[in-house]
C-alpha cells in the first residue's frame, strides 16, 4: 500500500509542500514508530507505556524556531505531571541532537531521531516529501495511547500554540 500524500498540507515561507502519511485526529489510537535515541538504540511508542507523552516535532534543531520550541518545552517539562515525558522528534542525526542538547542545556526532554527510517514521519503524517524533514507539529498522547491533542502547524516557519498543547496536558492531569 502506498503512503498517503497530502499535497499543500503545509507551507514553507508560503510555498506548498506535501506531507506523507495520514492526518491524525484527537481520539485516534497513536500509531507505533521506531526512532533512534542519542545512543543509537531503538525507541518505540511502547518504550513509554503508561505515560502521557508530549511529542514536539521539529524540522531541525539547528534552526531558530525549532531551537526556541525545543527550549520552551524543556523549560515546561519540570512543571508537568511526573508521569509525563516530553519528546522532541526530528530528522536530525542523533549526534547532532546530542550536541544541541549539550549546548542548550536541554536535560528535561528526550530527543529522538527519525533520520534512518522516517517511521514516525510516515505514521504521524509529518514527513515532508520534498525535504525529507518533519513538519512542525505537536502530539499529546495519553497513557492509553490515544491522541488527546494534535496540532499540525500550517506554516512550518511559525511557532506551534504552546498554550493549547500545555493546557491539554494539565486538563488530563486534573481528570
| Catalytic residue list | 66
How far apart CA 111 and CA 36 sit, in angstroms, is: 9
Bridge partners (DSSP) of residue 105 are: none
Return the H-helix or E-strand segment holding 171.
helix 162-174
Place of cell 531503538: 42
How far apart CA 167 and CA 137 sit, in angstroms, is: 16
Which of these, 139, 125, 137, 127, lies nearest to 69 by C-alpha position? 137
Cβ–Cβ under 8 Å, residues 157 and 65? yes
Amino acid at each position: 500500500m502506498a503512503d498517503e500524500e497530502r499535497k499543500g498540507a503545509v507551507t514553507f515561507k508560503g510555498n506548498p509542500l506535501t506531507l506523507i502519511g495520514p492526518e491524525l485526529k484527537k481520539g485516534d489510537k497513536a500509531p507505533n514508530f521506531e526512532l533512534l535515541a542519542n545512543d543509537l538504540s531503538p525507541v518505540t511508542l511502547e518504550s513509554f507505556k503508561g505515560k502521557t507523552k508530549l511529542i514536539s516535532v521539529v524540522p531541525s534543531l539547528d534552526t531558530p524556531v525549532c531551537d526556541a520550541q525545543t527550549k520552551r518545552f524543556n523549560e515546561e517539562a519540570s512543571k508537568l505531571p511526573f508521569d509525563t515525558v516530553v519528546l522532541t522528534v526530528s530528522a536530525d542525526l542523533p549526534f547532532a541532537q546530542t550536541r544541541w542538547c549539550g549546548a542548550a542545556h536541554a536535560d528535561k526532554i528526550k530527543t529522538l531521531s527519525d533520520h534512518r527510517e522516517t517511521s514516525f514521519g510516515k505514521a504521524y503524517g509529518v514527513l515532508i516529501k520534498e525535504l525529507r524533514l518533519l513538519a512542525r507539529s505537536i502530539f499529546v498522547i495519553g497513557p492509553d495511547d490515544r491522541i488527546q491533542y494534535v496540532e499540525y502547524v500550517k506554516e512550518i516557519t511559525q511557532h506551534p500554540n504552546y498554550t493549547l498543547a500545555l493546557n491539554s496536558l494539565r486538563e488530563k492531569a486534573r481528570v
